[in-house]
Homo-oligomer: A and B are copies of this chain.
Amino acid sequence: MSHNTTEINRQLRKSGYRVTPQRQLILDAVCQLGEHVTPEAVYDHVHRIAPTLSRATVYRVLHFLTEQRILAMVYMADGRLAYEMAGPEPHHHLVCRSCDSLLELPHSVLRSFRRTMDAQYDFEIDVSHLSFFGHCTDCRDSAGA
């Protein structure tokens, strides 16, 4: 696996949380399954290894790891939620509401915006992933107005 297990475990324990086999399994699963991993895909994966691991736990752990900034939530084109490792190299998406297309957005575009939020509102926008909804080149005309 490509994530630093030891470091993450230490971080969790430091915050008073526990490092359970379930959490490690789920984290490994997201890591292995790549980008845009759905909860169901995670469940399918870990369930083979640990058949008693429940769906509820998958959802809870995904949410938990996101809160800990170890994972990042991704809004997919169809509006559903997915997850991926919150790597050091953030990327973002432009999601078209009409055709569900998905444009990648380099992080650099957001730097100044993020700095503004930080300075003016003392709010640290989650840099690991952002999704902007709207209408792309092809759809902005046909969508009226």
Binding site for B on A (CB under 8 A): 11, 14-15, 66-69, 73, 94, 96-98, 103, 105, 109, 113, 116-117, 120-126, 130, 132-137, 140, 143-145
Report B-chain residues with C-beta under 8 Å of the C-beta of A98.
Answer: 67
Contact B67 A125 (CB under 8 A): no
Report B-chain residues with C-beta under 8 Å of the C-beta of A117.
Answer: 94, 109, 132, 134
Q: Take A94-B125, A113-B113, A121-B103 as given contacts and tell me if A15 and B135 are in contact as well, using a CB distance cutoff of 8 Å.
A: no
Q: How far is the CB of A100 from chain B (nearest CB, A)?
A: 10
Interchain CB contact (< 8 A) of A140 among B14, B105, B124: B124
Most buried by B among A97, A120, A145: A97
Q: How far is the CB of A137 from chain B (nearest CB, A)?
A: 4
Q: How far is the CB of A83 from chain B (nearest CB, A)?
A: 13
